[in-house]
Amino acid sequence: MIDISIKNLSKDFLLPDPKNKEQYKNLNVMKDFNLNIKNNEVVALIGPSGIGKSTLLNILSGNDINYKGEININRSIENKKLSFIFQSHNLLPWLTAYENIKLVCNTESLEKDSASQILNEVGLEDFINSYPNNLSGGMKRRVSIARAFVNKPNILLMDEPFVSLEKPLANQLRKQTISLINKNKVTAILVTHDLKEAIMFADRIIFCNNSPMKIYLEKEIKLNNDPIYDNDEINGIYQEIIGNDSSILKAK
Amino acid sequence: MNKNNSLPKLYRWASFLCIILIWTILSFLIEHRLFASPLSVLNDIWYHLAEGELIDDTLITLARAGTSFAIAMILGSIIGYLLARIKKLDYFFDSWVIIGLNIPAIVLVILFYIWLGLNEIALISAVVLNKIPIVIVNIREGTKSMDKSYFQIAKVYQLNNFQIWRKIILPQLYPYLMTSARTGLSLIWKIVLVFELLGRGSGIGFQLQVFFQFFDISSLLAYSIFFMSIILLIENYIMIPIEKKATHWRKL
């Protein structure tokens, strides 16, 4: 069953013309872009910076409404719940970890005190009353992951959620996020530049090129073992993808 | 008692006592009726308090300053916010704000006393018009510098308007509101005294004019010091605690 359907999506940006600062020129980021994502499928989007991957997530999340085309999110899902793990943690600094999560809770989550439960689940039970200023980078990221899952979302958007983190911490958070994705059975889109990360998360990897953004390769991924960054299976698939088509390196 | 906490207080008291000491020594050396000693000023404060007029005049001036302050803060905040959010309004009214910032306070009060008569409305209108442009500029800049990424959270998690104002907009505007309030308080009470001196028959400013006519320096200082003490109390026991409460997360 199709969960997210994107048909003929087009998006333009007005940018200052480098030759004449008084004038603006139109940048066509997406033109007739099409993508279907199945129920409970995790799709990773890989492509060079600035081609419109984050713009696509902003459109899907409702943060960008200036586009042409059709976005359909399966209405059979009752009370569609969408979540977003942003590139930066985006925690409100004047609220504690608990308050940051409670703010986004729906009525059902408030009744069950899901905010405390999810903070326990990500190992932050001792920091629920801490302000973001007092948390380490990894802890802030964990709070933002907890926030994304507190309402048991149906759809999860992730915009390079583990970028600029140290490798061991990034691996720990990837593992935690994959476990939450599996537990909640969400349909997810991950935007990343890291092919190994994409292999860990995704059922399908979509490689995109720029100006305007278009899909030039899709690869189904099936892992037999637990997804662990840099393990033999992930490295094997990585080599297989790179070996098949060296142009994919451009999308790394 | 914590040594580090008590040290600044100790220095403040030492500095205050130093001023009193220098003043006392100078009054002994000069020994002139136009240079009142601290003791005679203290006696006059007590005398005017016992007579009741000092309390009455203080309350009248505080009521005028408080009313003007409240009106200027409310109107200035609303206008400042709207100018930041609606560009066309900002372009149109920007020059008005600049003119408002540069009109001398004395010109405004003379005009209002002539147009509206020597009454409360004229005084309060003149004070409000003096203060409003400063509030507008502060709140306009505060609104413009709000972090847009926090509004992405509001959109994704479908926060209602009340939540957006209470948890996202106001916490970001508190520092600007507090700066406006504190600078406003110090500006408004000084302007109110001058305006009372020019055209009212009651209040601290009016009494200062009477003492000036009789060259009663001791009473003049008694009224001034008493009123300044009240303003310092408001600053220390109302404004600073509110500011600390609103921005406590920054110091953690």
Q: Give residue-wise pLDDT tens across range A68-96.
A: 998 888 755 555 688 999 988 899 999 99
Token pair of B224, please?
Answer: 């001034």
Q: Which residues of B touch A131 (CB under 8 A)?
A: 249, 252
pLDDT of residue B252: 58
Q: Which residue of A has its CA nearest to B245?
A: A94
What's the number of domains chain A is made of? Answer: 1
Residue A50 has what DSSP assignment? T
**pLDDT tens figures, A100-144:** 999 999 887 777 788 899 999 888 999 999 999 999 988 999 999
Residue at A161 is within a domain: yes
Question: A130 lies in a domain?
Answer: no
CB–CB of A84 and B250 under 8 A? no
Q: Which of B39, B15, B14, B16 is nearest to B221 (CA)?
A: B39
CA-CA distances (angstroms) from residue B8 to A212, A235, B18, B54, B140?
62, 62, 15, 32, 35
- For residue A90, give the nearest of B149, B159, B249 by CB distance: B149
Average pLDDT over residues A12-19: 81
A74: left (phi over 0), alpha (psi -120 to 50) or beta: beta
Angle of CA points A99, A101, A105, to nearest 5°: 110
Q: What are phi and psi of A177, to 5 degrees?
A: -70, -45
Single out the residue of B96, B181, B101, B93 nearest to residue B133, CA to CA.
B101
Gap between the Cα atoms of A28 and B245, Å rounded: 48
Structure tokens given for B189:
């009470």
Q: Cβ contact (<8 Å) for A82 and B150?
A: no
- Report how far apart the first and last C-alpha atoms of chain B are (Å, whole number): 21
- pLDDT value of position B168: 95
If one compares A182 and A227, the residue with the highest pLDDT of the two is A182
The tokens describing A73, both together, are 């999110």
What CATH number should be reported for the domain holding residue A222?
3.40.50.300
So what's the pLDDT on residue A2? Answer: 66
Here the tokens at position A219 are 């690869």
Query: A135 to chain B, minimum CA–CA distance in Å?
Result: 11
Quick one: average pLDDT of A6-30? Answer: 83
**pLDDT given for residue B3 in this prediction:** 56
pLDDT in tens, B159-212: 999 999 999 999 999 999 999 998 888 889 999 999 999 988 899 999 999 999
Instruction: Please choose, from the candidates B171, B181, B172, B169, the residue with its C-alpha nearest in 3D space to the C-alpha of residue B70.
Output: B181
What six digits make up the tokens of A138?
């990894």
Residue B187 in tokens? 């500006």
Written as one string, the DSSP assignment of A58-127 is HHHHTS----EEEEEE-TTSTT--EEEE-SS----TTS-HHHHHHHH--HHHHHHTHHHHHHHHTT-GGG
Is A103 among the domain residues?
no
pLDDT at A20: 77
Q: Which residues of B touch A (CB under 8 A)?
A: 149-150, 152-153, 155-157, 159, 163, 167-168, 171, 249-250, 252
Higher pLDDT, B9 or B152: B152
Residue A132 inside a domain? The answer is: no
Question: CB distance from A63 to chain B under 8 Å?
Answer: yes
In a domain, A116, yes or no: no
- A213-217, A248-252, B68-72, B243-247: which has the minimum mean pLDDT? A248-252
- Contact between residue A187 and residue A154 where contact means Cβ atoms under 8 Å apart: yes
Q: How far is Cα B3 from Cα B14, in angstroms, rounded to an integer?
A: 16
Give, as one character, the DSSP assignment of residue B32: -
| Residue A55 resides in a domain | yes
Query: In the predicted model, what is the mean pLDDT of residues B108-134?
Result: 94
Binned at pLDDT 50, 70 and 90, residue B1 comes out as very low
Tell me, yes or no, whether A127 lies in a domain.
no
Interacting residues of A78 by C-beta distance below 8 A, sequence separation 6+: none
Put simply, whether A61 touches B (Cβ < 8 Å) is yes
| Chain A: residue whose CA lies nearest to B162 | A103
Q: Could you list the residue range(s) of the whole structural domain that residue A191 is in?
A: 2-80+154-251
Residue B168 with chain A: CB contacts under 8 Å? 92
pLDDT tens track for A155-198: 999 999 998 788 888 998 999 999 999 998 899 999 998 999 99
Taking an 8 Å cut-off on Cβ atoms, the answer to whether B159 and A103 are in contact is yes
State percent of chain B over pLDDT 70.
97
Lowest mean pLDDT among A7-21, A236-250, B191-205: A236-250
Q: What is the dihedral of CA B218, B224, B226, B231, to 10 degrees?
A: -170
Residue A104 covered by a domain: no
A151, amino acid identity: N
Q: Which two tokens stand for residue B87?
A: 């560009």
Under an 8 A CB cutoff, do B157 and A104 touch? yes
A129 touching chain B per CB within 8 A: no
Relative to beta strand A214-220, strand A204-209 is antiparallel
Which amino acid is residue A94, in one-letter code?
Answer: W
User: Is A62–B249 a contact, with Cβ atoms under 8 angstroms apart?
Assistant: no
DSSP-derived secondary structure for B82-120: HHHH-HHHHHHHHHHHHHHHHS-HHHHHHHHHHHH-SSH
